[in-house]
Amino acid sequence: MNRRLHWNLILLGLLATGSVTMAGEWPQFRGPLRNGCSEETGLLKRWPEAGPRQLWTAEGLGEGWSSAAVSQGRIYITGMEDKKEFLVALDLKGQRQWKKVYGSAWSGSFPGARTTPTVEGNRVYVISGAGEVVCLNTADGAILWQINGFDRFKGKTGEWGTAESVLIHENKVFYTPCGDQTTVVALDKMTGDTLWSTESLNDQSGYVSAILIERGGKTILVTVTGSYVIGVDTAQGKILWRYPYVKNHPTALERRLRINTVSPLYWNGNLFVTSGYDHVAVMLKLSEDGTKVSLKWVNEVLDCHHGGVVRVGDTIYGSNWESNAGGKWMGLKWTTGETLYEASWNSNKGPVVYADGMLYCCDEDLFNVGLVRAAPESFDVISSFKITQGEDKLWAHPSISDGRLYVRHGEFLMAYDIKAR
C-alpha cells in the first residue's frame, strides 16, 4: 500500500470517529495522527537567508514547553504563572481571544506547562502537571468539566509529574495515571465520568502521550509507562499486551531508565519505541490479531531524549542523547534498525517534525530552526535561522498548519510563513 493511500484510509477512519478536524490543521500533540507528520504540500524548499517571513509574535504565554494546537481558525497553547496552568486561545493573527486558568502546575523541578491542547469540535482538552483532566469550551474558555485524575485514580508519577496530552477516540478521553489502582483510564469526553479503568501494573507513569493504532479489527491505545510498552483495547479497557522495555534492555544508567518521553511510531504492524539516556530503541512486531508483540530488532544509537521521531518511507529521523547538553541527528532504517547516518548540527539535539519532503529540526540550546531534506543518506541542512525571542530550552515541538510554522519558545509563540508562492 503506498504512503498516500495508507494516510487517506487512516484519516477517513479518524474523521468518522471525530478524532480530528480538517486537513491542514494540527489539532493535537504532534499533528493529526500524532506522528509528527503533515500531509501539506506547496511549502518552501529553501528559506531566505534570514529565515521564512515572520508573521507575528504572541507574548505572555507563561512558562511552558507545550506546542501549539491549531483548529478551525484558532490557536491554543498552555502556559504557567504563579504555580497555575492556563490555556490561551489566539486568532490566526496572534491576537488573544481568551485566557483561562484550568489547574495546578507540577510542584517539583521543571514546573512549566507540558500538555499540548487536544481540540475536537467546540471542545478543547488538557491535563495539568498535577494530573487534573479538564475540558473547556473553545468559544470562551469556560470549563465544561474538570476532574482531579491523579487523586481519583491514586496515580503515581516520576520526579517530573504528569506530562501527557489528551488522546480522544469516539466518546472517550484517555489518561494514564498508573499507580497501584490502575494504569490507563477512559473518561466520558462529554462529562468526565469514568467509563473504564485497566488493571494496575504497579508502575509509575512515563512522560508519553499515547497513540492509537488499528490491528486485528481493534482500536488499540499504545503508550509507554515507566517500565513497559503497553497496548490497551479501547473498547473494553483490557491490557492486551505489555513489553518490559526496562527489564529486557537494562543499561548502566539504571536510575534514568524510567524516563520515557517519546510517543511510539506505528506502521504496517510494527511499533518503534525509543527513549534517551543510553536506552536502546526497539522495533516490536504485533500479531495479526493485535494481542501479542515480539521483538524484531534493537538499535543502540537512536536514544531520543524528548524531541520526538518521524517516519518518512523506510527511514526514521530524530536526534539521540549523548548528554543533556547535546546529541547527534540520525537516520535509521525502519525495516532493519540499521543506522544510516549520525550527523552533528550545532552539536545539539531537539524536536523534529516533517512536511512536504522536509524535516523541521530545532536546536534546543542555540535556538536554531533548520530546514533539512528528508533523505536516508545524509543530514542535509538546506536553510536555517535563529529564534531570538524566549529563554530556556527550545523543547516545544513545532506545529505546521495551512502553510505556517509555529514555534513556541518560553512565553513566546512565533508564526512563520512557509508556503511557496
- 90 residue type, one letter: L
Q: Which residue(s) pair with 131 in the sheet?
A: none
30 exposure class (CB count in 10 Å sphere: 0-12, 13-18, 19+): buried
pLDDT in tens, the chain (421 residues): 444 434 443 443 443 333 434 558 999 999 999 999 999 999 999 999 999 999 999 999 999 999 999 999 999 999 999 999 999 999 999 999 999 999 999 999 899 999 999 999 999 999 999 999 999 999 999 999 999 999 999 999 999 999 999 999 999 999 999 999 999 999 999 999 999 999 999 999 999 999 999 999 999 999 999 999 999 999 999 999 999 999 998 875 555 568 999 999 999 999 999 999 999 999 999 999 999 999 999 999 999 999 999 999 999 999 999 999 899 999 999 999 999 999 999 878 999 999 999 999 999 999 999 999 999 999 999 999 999 999 999 999 999 999 999 999 999 999 999 999 8
242 exposure class (CB count in 10 Å sphere: 0-12, 13-18, 19+): middle
- 8 residue type, one letter: N
Residue found under cell 529564534: 387
pLDDT at site 421: 85
For the record, the C-alpha cell of 275 comes out as 527513549
Q: Say how far residue 408 (Cα) sits from the centre of its chain.
A: 14
CB of 149 closer than 8 Å to CB of 164: no
93 backbone φψ class: left, alpha, beta (φ>0; ψ -120 to 50): alpha
CB of 370 closer than 8 Å to CB of 364: no
Q: Which residue(s) pair with 352 in the sheet?
A: 361
CB of 61 closer than 8 Å to CB of 90: no
pLDDT at site 250: 83
